Structure 1
Amino acid sequence: MRVEIHGHRGARGVRPENTLPGFAHAVALGVDAIELDVGLSADDVVVLNHDQALSPANLTDTAPAWPGDPAFPYVGKRIRSLTLAQLRTIDAGTRPHEAFTQVPVPGARIPTLTEACALLDATDVTLSVELKTDPTWPLAEIEHFTAATADILTSHDLTHRTRLLAFDWRVLTTARKHHPDFGRVALFERKTLAANTAWLADHPPNDPVAAAASIGATAISPEAALTTPALVDQAHAADLPVIVWTVNTLEDLSRFTAYGADAVVTDYPDRITN
C-alpha cells in the first residue's frame, strides 16, 4: 500500500515554515499534500502562521508598519491583534528554526491564504488547512473564521482539493453545517484527549475515533504516539482514513505503513519516500 506524503507546514525541516518558498519546495519534492496553518488578522485577513501569536523561534521583527506604531515590536503578540500591514513587516525567512536544518529564504514574509491558493492552485496537491483556534474562542468567532477561510478556498475553486483540519472540533462541526463540501480532519493528541477536555466539541475523550465519526469528520489525524494498529483498524472500520503526524524517519514510515495508515505528515519530504 502506498502511503501519502504530506509536507508539514510546507517542508518545515528544510525551508521556512508556512511560507510560499517553503510550499514551492515541497511541491518540487513531490508531496501529495501541503499542510498549512491559518489565523485571522485584526482586519479580518486570513494569514498563515502556526501559532496564535508570533513566535520568536522562527520570526523576526524588522521595522514598524508606520512610524511610532505603539504595537511595535510585533513578535510575541497575537495575530488577531495585528493588522495585515503590521504582519507584513515580519521576516519569516531568515531565522531558521533551531530544531531543523532549514535553508534561509531572505525576503520571505507571512503570506495570506489568498496568496498560498494562487501558488498552489496551479498544482495538483491537496491542501490540508488547519484553523488555529482553541476552546476559549466564542463560537461566533469560530464561525466567522471558518467562513472567511472557506470563502477564499472556494473562490479559487479548491473546495474539492481541500481538507479543513482542527484540534478544536467546533471548527469541524461548523464546517459540516455551513461548508459541507470540504473534507474535515479531526486532529487529536494527548493534550486534547485529557480528562474533562474542552477540545472535542463536548464529546468524551475515551473513544476519539467514535467521537470523530459522530461529528462528521472525514478523516482522523492522531499524533504518532497515539497511533496503534488497533486505532487504525477502528478508524478504517468507520470509513475514516488515518493521517499520522509527525513522521520524520524511514523507520517510522515503515512502521505506520505496516499499521495501515493512509498518510503521514513529515517535516522532511526529501527524506520520507516510499
Structure 2
Amino acid sequence: MSFPQVEAFRGGKNLIRVVGHRGARGVLPENSMIGFDFTLSIGVPLLEFDVVLTADDVPVITHNHRLHAPTFRDASGQFLTGKEPKVSSLSFNQIQQFEIGRLDGHSDYGRRFPDQAQLDGVRVPKLQDLLDLINRPEYGEANLMLELKSDPDLAHDAAYLDRFVTCVVQQVRAAGLSDRVLLHSFDWTLLEVCQRQAPDMPSSYLTQLPENADDLGEDSSKAVCPDFRGQSEKIPQMVKQAGGALWCPYFADVISEDVALAKELGLCVAVWTVNEPADISRMIDLGVDAIVSDYPGRVQRHLSDLGMRWV
C-alpha cells in the first residue's frame, strides 16, 4: 500500500528531503508555533515534533514528560527550579501559565543552542494549533512526522496507550489531515496501537542503539525503545516486519549497508537529528531519503551547493 505522506518524506534522484526538528530548534524556540511557521515559510514543508497528553486529555506539543526547566519560565519570568511537574499532572490551562520562548543559557541544555532567538509570550501549543496552521492554503504541501511521546511510567498501561492514540487520531481525522500525518515513536508497542486504530496513517519507527549517549537535558528514548544489542544489522528488517513504512534511526548509528537494506525493503529512511556540517555531508553521501535537523537552513544550503533539491 502506498501512502502519500510517506512519499512526501521519500527522496530520489538529486533529492533529499529536509525535516524541521521541533520546528527549527537551532534558531527559534522548539516546538513553538513561531518555529513551525518559520520552517514552513522557508520552503521546508516537513515538520517533526513531539506530542504529550495533559491531565485533561489535551494533546500538547512538547518534548519531555516533565516541564523542561531550561525552557519553561513561570509567571515571574524565572526558569523552573526543583522537581519538574509532569505534563500529565497538569491541565492545559495550567500549562499555559508558563512561557517557553527563552533558553536558560547557564544550563547544559541551553549552551547547546547559542543561536536560538529569545522571545517572550511564547507558550506550549496544542496539537490542534499546528493542525490548523497546516490547513491554511499556503501550507497545503506540509506533512507532519508526529511523535507520540511514550511515558515510561505508563508504557505498560494498555488503557492509557489506547486513550493517548485515540485523542491524537481523532484530532488529525477531524482536521481532515490523516493523509498528511505519519505516526512516529520509539515505543514499538505504542505503534502497534496506532496501526490498529489508524491503519491509514503509516508508522514511522524511531531507533537508537543503546551504546550512544543521550542528549543533554532531554528525556531518554532508551526506557521505551527496544534493546537492539547484538542485532543492529537487522533493524531495517525488524521495522518492516513490525509494519513500519518509515525508519528513523539516530544518524550516528547508520552505515551505507543499513540504508541500502532499508531501501531494498521499501522503507523510507529519515535520519535524526543532524546538525553539524560534516554529519550533514555524510548523510547526503549515504543517500538517505530525509534529514531531520534543528537547522533546516543548513541542510538546504548543503543541498543547494551540490545542485540537489529538497522539495
Equivalent in the alignment of 2:180: 161
Question: How many aligned positions are there?
Answer: 264
Secondary structure of 2:39's counterpart equals helix
Equivalent in the alignment of 2:61: 48
Equivalent in the alignment of 2:258: 231
The residue type equivalent to 1:133 in the other structure is S
Structure 2 unpaired stretches of 5+: 1-13, 105-109, 213-221, 304-311
- How far the C-alpha of 1:31 sits from its partner, in A, is 1.2
Equivalent runs, 1:1-274 vs 2, <5 Å: 1-62=14-75, 76-95=84-103, 97-100=110-113, 101-122=115-136, 123=139, 124-136=141-153, 137=155, 138-191=157-210, 199=224, 206=231, 207-273=234-300, 274=303
- C-alpha RMSD over aligned residues: 2.4
State the distance in 2 between where 1:92 and 1:114 align.
Answer: 18
- How far the C-alpha of 1:204 sits from its partner, in A, is 8.2
Q: Percent identity?
A: 31
State the distance in 1 between where 2:203 and 2:29 align.
Answer: 26
State the distance in 2 between where 1:139 and 1:187 align.
Answer: 20
State the distance in 1 between where 2:26 and 2:225 align.
Answer: 30
Contact kept? 2:210, 2:228, Cα under 8 Å? no
1:164-201 alpha-carbon deviations (Å, 9 max, x no partner): 110011121111111111121100112399xxx87457
The residue type equivalent to 2:54 in the other structure is S
1:49-76 alpha-carbon deviations (Å, 9 max, x no partner): 001111111111116xxxxxxxx98971
Contact kept? 1:40, 1:80, Cα under 8 Å? yes
State the distance in 2 between where 1:198 and 1:89 align.
Answer: 29
Contact kept? 1:128, 1:162, Cα under 8 Å? yes
Gap change, CA 1:10 and 1:99, over 3 Å in 2: same
- How far the C-alpha of 1:234 sits from its partner, in A, is 1.1
State the distance in 1 between where 2:134 and 2:23 align.
Answer: 11
Structure 1 unpaired stretches of 5+: 64-71
State the distance in 1 between where 2:15 and 2:183 align.
Answer: 23
The residue type equivalent to 2:43 in the other structure is G
Contact kept? 1:21, 1:105, Cα under 8 Å? no
The residue type equivalent to 1:23 in the other structure is F
State the TM-score, normalized to the length of structure 1: 0.89
Secondary structure of 2:30's counterpart equals coil
State the TM-score, normalized to the length of structure 2: 0.79
State the distance in 2 between where 1:192 and 1:134 align.
Answer: 22
Contact kept? 2:210, 2:227, Cα under 8 Å? no
Equivalent in the alignment of 1:66: none
